[in-house]
Amino acid sequence: MSDTLTIIDNRTGKRYEVPIEYGTYPTYGAAIPTSDLRKIKVSDDDFGLLGYDPAFNNTASCKSAITHIDGERGILRYRGYPIEDLAANSSFLEVAYLIVHGELPTADALETWSWDILHHSIVHENIKKFMDGFRYDAHPMGILISTVAALSTFYPESKNIHDEAVRHEQMHRLIAKMPTIAALAYRHSEGYPYTYPDNDLSYCGNFLRMMFKMTERNYKPDPILEKVLDVVFILHVDHEQNCSANAMRSVGSSFPDPYVSIAAAAAGLYGPLHGGANEQVLRMLHEIGHIDHVPAYIKKVKNGDFRLMGFGHRVYKNYDPRARILKEMTPQVLDVTGKSPLLEIAVELERIALEDEYFIDRNLYPNVDFYSGIIYQAMGFPADMFSVLFAIPRTPGWLAQWAEMLEDPDQKIARPRQVYIGEDERAYVPVDKRG
Ligand code: CMC
């Protein structure tokens, strides 16, 4: 047996051999270098064959050692560690270290890393003035994206992306400042005074304080909610080559500073088919309004009127393991915050959908966004903050993808090909001669 693929071009009768390359195990992915297809030509002046794959449905854009998903079996691992083990035993900052550095930190390394992140959480005072320029009803994700891009102008040295020390400093800053900017965006929209970070609190405890502190002298985040948010953040750290990670790599491949690349990645996340889905889930549950209305709603989904938000995934053809953990945690949150009528509707929606042929035939299961919105709403976050809450923990994932891309000798500036289907060359017609 040889690890090659033989292709016969029926136009010419010629045979070609292309190598097959494997992931960690052959079952983790096997690919042919599609650039080898260019050898397949009908004549010398032929451009050669391309792979046509809109939306990268079956194209590996990189080799990556960060995250492994087995969508058929519902498996998600960061750097080899099952998501269930990390959710049960780790903390967000530890997982952020793991994703960025590739290994779990020693106790000393974790302490230094946590100190570095927690002590970069403050933003330049000009950011506050910048924030004031947004309309009172600006979507916080629009504010987050623009403000992260603006950080580029505060740290001009960040352009030195090939200097590892500079790169790491920007990583600390980005992971540290995302919650601060997120909270500023929220408080701006509510007209509340801005709250400065408190480095004595945990990453999530500080974020909850910056979000929700009002006139209390000593705001103490609820320990259960603080812990749940930390786990929710762990679940969102990375998810291999999705739309936003691909944006991070693609924009980053022209070598701008990481702030503008993160802004591009966050813009990819903003859309309702990606990180904007949990906001849509909540709106959908409100629209359904009562469990009795669930069957009629499902009927409309099956008619193709709209999609069931929080269901389906390009990669998972099984229950999303993140959704399972979130579903299990939801009662803990509601014990603190009080019952949510939306949870009842969500559970009924899931029950009916999972028994329905339409969803079974298409392998449509709840994804991470199905339960996260219910948890966030119960914790007091408004729906338009949900995609922001996705962007905060995804930042270390984007940074790991970016650094891996920069260090990968196979990578170049992203530049897909196209198959041109427009007009062939034609003569210009002056305007007075056009009919
Ligand atoms: N509700 C109803 N039907 C659906 C849904 C859904 N949520 N998702 C897919 N389908 C149907 C789709 O209509 C198609 O049916 P048919 O073969 O009859 O035309 C079939 O399933 C395959 O759909 P697709 O659009 O080819 O699948 P995709 O892999 O391109 O889409 C998706 C993946 C996530 C964009 C899609 O499932 C979707 O729109 N889901 C709702 C939005 C959502 O929850 N997004 C969050 C994704 S998870 C968070 C993240 O990682 O970003």
HSE of 56 in the Cβ direction (CA atoms, 13 Å)?
A: 14
Atom of ligand 1 at shortest range from CA of 301: 2
CB-hemisphere CA count at 13 Å for 412? 2
Token pair belonging to 153: 């102008």
Phi, psi of 98 (to 5 degrees): -55, -45
User: Shortest CA distance to 283 belongs to which of 303, 305, 310, 302?
Assistant: 310
Q: Which of 274, 292, 361, 408 is catalytic?
A: 274
In tens, the pLDDT along 252-310 reads 999 999 999 999 999 999 998 888 888 889 999 999 999 999 999 999 999 999 999 99
Number of CB atoms found within 10 A of residue 207's CB = 25
Q: Using CA atoms, how far apart are residues 326 and 228, in angstroms rounded to an integer?
A: 9
DSSP state of 162: T
Q: Do 215 and 243 form a contact (C-beta atoms < 8 A)?
A: no
d(CA 388, CA 207): 12
User: Which residue in this structure is represented by tokens 């966030």?
Assistant: 376
Selection from 173, 172, 210 nearest residue 193 by Cα: 210
Is 334 a residue whose pLDDT tops 80? yes
Class of residue 43 by CB neighbours under 10 A (exposed 0-12, middle 13-18, buried 19+): exposed
In angstroms, the CA 244 to CA 309 distance is 19
* CA atoms in the 13 A half-sphere facing the CB of 296: 7
Q: Name the catalytic one among 188, 313, 320, 384.
A: 313
| Catalytic residue check, 119 | no
Give me Rg for the CA atoms of the chain: 24
Q: How far is the CA of 312 from the centre of ligand 1 (A)?
A: 5
Please check the confidence at residue 1 and state whether its pLDDT lies above 80. no
Nearest CA to ligand 1 atom 25: 314
What pLDDT shows up at residue 148?
Answer: 98
CA of 172 to the centre of ligand 1 (A): 35
Distance CA 398, CA 396 (A): 5
pTM above 0.85, yes or no: yes
Ligand 1 center from residue 384 Cα (angstroms): 22
Cβ neighbours around 332 below 10 Å, total: 15
In three-state secondary structure terms, 164 is helix
The fraction of the chain above a pLDDT of 90, given in percent, is 89
Give residue 273 CA to ligand 1 midpoint distance, Å.
8
Helices (DSSP H) in 236-307: which residue ranges?
243-252, 258-270, 277-288, 294-302
What pLDDT score was predicted for residue 273? 87
* Closest Cα to atom 48 of ligand 1: 367
Separation between Cα atoms, residue 250 and residue 252, nearest integer Å: 5
Distance 126 CA to ligand 1 centre (A): 41
**Residues 208-262 pLDDT 10s:** 999 999 999 889 999 999 999 999 999 999 999 999 999 999 999 999 999 999 9
Cβ–Cβ under 8 Å, residues 41 and 48: yes
* CA distances from residue 58 to 22, 34, 54, 192, 265 in whole angstroms, order as listed: 15, 11, 9, 47, 21
pLDDT band at residue 130, thresholds of 50, 70 and 90?
confident
Active site residue 369: yes
Which tens digit of pLDDT belongs to each residue from 175-212? 999 999 999 999 998 999 999 999 999 999 999 999 99
Q: Which residue's CA is the nearest one to ligand 1's atom 50?
A: 274
The token duo for 200 is 């004595």
Query: At 204, which amino acid appears?
Result: C
Residue 426, pLDDT score: 97
Instruction: Return the bridge partners of 366, or none.
Output: 311
pLDDT at 27: 79
pLDDT at residue 419, as a whole number? 95
Residue 71 is classified by DSSP as T
Q: Give the binding-site residues of ligand 1, using a 6 Å CB cut-off.
A: 239, 242, 273-275, 277, 301, 307-314, 362, 364, 367-369
Q: Which domains are present in the chain?
A: 4-60 (no CATH), 69-268 (1.10.580.10), 277-378 (1.10.230.10)
Q: What is the pLDDT of residue 427?
A: 97
Look at ligand 1, atom 43, and give the residue with the nearest C-alpha: 310
